[in-house]
Amino acid sequence: MTMIEFRNVSFSYDSGNPVVADLSFSIGRGETVGLIGANGAGKSTIMKLLLGLVTGEGEITVDGLPMNRQNLPAIRQRIGFVLQDSDNQMFMPTVYEDMIFGPRNYGVSKEETDRRVDDVLKCLGLQELKHRYNHKISGGEKRMAAIATILAMEPEMILMDEPSTALDPVNRRTVINTVNRLPQTKLIASHDLDMILDTCQRVILLAGGAIVADGDAETILRDRELLEANRMELPFCLQGRR
């Protein structure tokens, strides 16, 4: 069953050069897909298109709902987006208040919201963070709290933009393990190919706004020639250094 589908989607900014050109792909429910490509390949634009933050040409459907004005709230409720800079995501005073922001805005009752918050925090082992202030928690804690904020919305799909940047190895590993435990459909955009290898079964490689390769993660990430032709390189764990 398909979760999202792009059919002949194009998008360009005012300047004219297409950022994304005639893009078609689909992602099935429960899949974890890595989105890789050089800077400016179109990763962020695909995410923005999927969230309705920008509108392009072509058809996008999310969980069977075509992307349009009426469906936008329903679509956004189904997709959780973890931003690259957690500071931009965690704007409320405390972690708790940030976690209730999404559910309460989508009309979930107060009791149900509180139950979700406690469940999510327990599941991620972050109970201790609940009443902490967003401006006083560490970078690693902030990233985990941002994921918790999204999970409290109980989305069916999670988008992540560079979830492992600026984290120390232990925090990075925590995020990877968390991602692997989440049952939702996931689309992860990153330059951290080792993390993609650890989390994704499928990889979409982009270049110049078009799909260059789409397939099994192991196969694509082991293809040195393909990666290097597209301004990428083998994941460190596959480079065979001593």
Partner 1 sequence: MDKLSQAQSELREMDALAAEDSPVHRLHPLCKLLVTVCYIAAVVSFPKYDFTGLAVMVLYPAVLFQAAGIPVRTCFYKLRIVLPLVCAVGLVNPFLDRTPMLQLGMVTITGGVISMVTLMMKGVFSLMASFLLIATTTIDSLCAALRKLHVPSILTTLLLLTYRYIGVMLEEVTIMTEAYKLRAPGQKGIHISAWGSFLGQLLLRSMDRAQELFGSMLLRGFQGEFFYADVPPCKPSGIVYTIACAGAFLLARLVPIASVLGGLFVG
Residues in the site for partner 1, rule: CB under 8 A?
A: 51, 53, 73, 76-77, 79-81, 83, 85, 87-89, 91-94, 96-97, 100-102, 104-106, 131, 133-136, 149, 153
Residues 6+ apart with CB under 8 A from 4: 26, 27, 50, 60, 61, 62, 63, 157, 185, 187
Q: Find out whether 147 and 175 touch, Cβ atoms under 8 Å.
A: yes
Closer of 22 and 97 to partner 1 (Cβ): 97
The residue among 122, 99, 134 whose CA lies nearest residue 181 is 122
Closer of 23 and 152 to partner 1 (Cβ): 152
**Residue 122 in tokens:** 């327990």
Shortest Cβ 80–partner 1 spacing (Å): 8
Closer of 133 and 236 to partner 1 (Cβ): 133
Shortest Cβ 204–partner 1 spacing (Å): 22
Please tell me the distance from the alpha carbon of residue 106 to that of residue 161, in angstroms, as a whole number: 23
Closer of 89 and 230 to partner 1 (Cβ): 89
Closer of 87 and 119 to partner 1 (Cβ): 87
Shortest Cβ 90–partner 1 spacing (Å): 8
Shortest Cβ 200–partner 1 spacing (Å): 22
Please tell me the distance from the alpha carbon of residue 152 to that of residue 82, in angstroms, as a whole number: 12
Position 185, amino acid? T
| Helix %, strand %, coil % of the chain (to 5) | 40, 25, 30
Which residues partner with 222 through β-bridges? none
Shortest Cβ 101–partner 1 spacing (Å): 6
Closer of 161 and 198 to partner 1 (Cβ): 161
Shortest Cβ 144–partner 1 spacing (Å): 17
Q: Which pairing describes strands 57-62 and 65-66: parallel, antiparallel, or unpaired?
A: antiparallel
Q: Find out whether 56 and 20 touch, Cβ atoms under 8 Å.
A: yes
